Copies of this chain bind each other. A is one copy, B any other.
Amino acid sequence: MPRTKKQNADIKELSIEKIRDAGLKLFATKGLAATSIVDISELAGISTGLMYHYYKSKEDLYAELVKSAVTSANAAVLEVAEMPLSPMEKTTLLAKNMLESIEKYEMTAYFFVLMPQVFLNKLIPKKVKPFLKEVLLPKEIVKKIIIAGQQTGEIVKGNPDALSVFFFSSFTGLCTYKLMMGKQFILPSVEMVTAMLLNKSYK
């Protein structure tokens, strides 16, 4: 008896998810070049041939994962930025959300580490290039929050670009160390990561 349409769709869905999970883990930790198709298919528990039913190439899978990472990161930042909150509250909420995500979801650290690789790797697959600009979008959004906060006095003085980059880069560094240290890693508190931005003497 052949499978029903529904069954096939479910199987397909499941296989794709297994491939994406395996790919993300391996790409983030080992990089595009050091991750082989065999690695991915073995971790996903499927054959190499099946990988090519769902993804045209290794770089295709890579591009899709990068796209996801960028898109969801941007959405998360935008969501907070558009809330009717003060700069200080936005900053704190953003930090809280990111730390929670890093703590709860294993994949978050992988996403954070994966993104800079896209830039560092000079031989970026063409499909990934359209996302290059978007990677720096959150930095721009936070920069606006910082400028607003500096005007109200909630946020420390200083070059807003430098502050924004430092704020984001510290999360990247954090995720790098999380992957590096495994269970030994201890996440900083919201206060710790926002201390660089918030003006202690405000009000």
Contact = CB atoms under 8 A, between A and B. Distances in A.
Interface of A: 28-34, 113, 116-117, 119-123, 135-136, 156, 158-159, 161-163, 165-166, 168-174, 176-177, 179-181, 185-189, 191-193, 195-196, 200-201
Given A30-B122, A34-B32, A174 B166 contact: yes
Contacts of A123: 30, 34
Contacts of A181: 119, 136, 165
A40 to B, nearest CB: 14
A158 B180 CA distance: 22
Per assembly, the copies of the chain total 4
A179 B119 CA distance: 8
A34 B163 CA distance: 32
Given A34-B34, A201-B200, A173 B180 contact: no
A136 to B, nearest CB: 7
Contacts of A135: 180
Given A31-B31, A166-B174, A171-B173, A119 B180 contact: yes
22 contacts: A29-B121, A30-B122, A30-B123, A31-B34, A34-B34, A116-B180, A119-B180, A120-B180, A156-B195, A158-B189, A158-B191, A162-B188, A163-B188, A165-B177, A165-B181, A165-B188, A168-B173, A169-B174, A172-B173, A173-B176, A176-B176, A196-B196
B173 A185 contact: no
B116 A177 contact: yes
Contacts of A170: 166, 169-170, 173-174
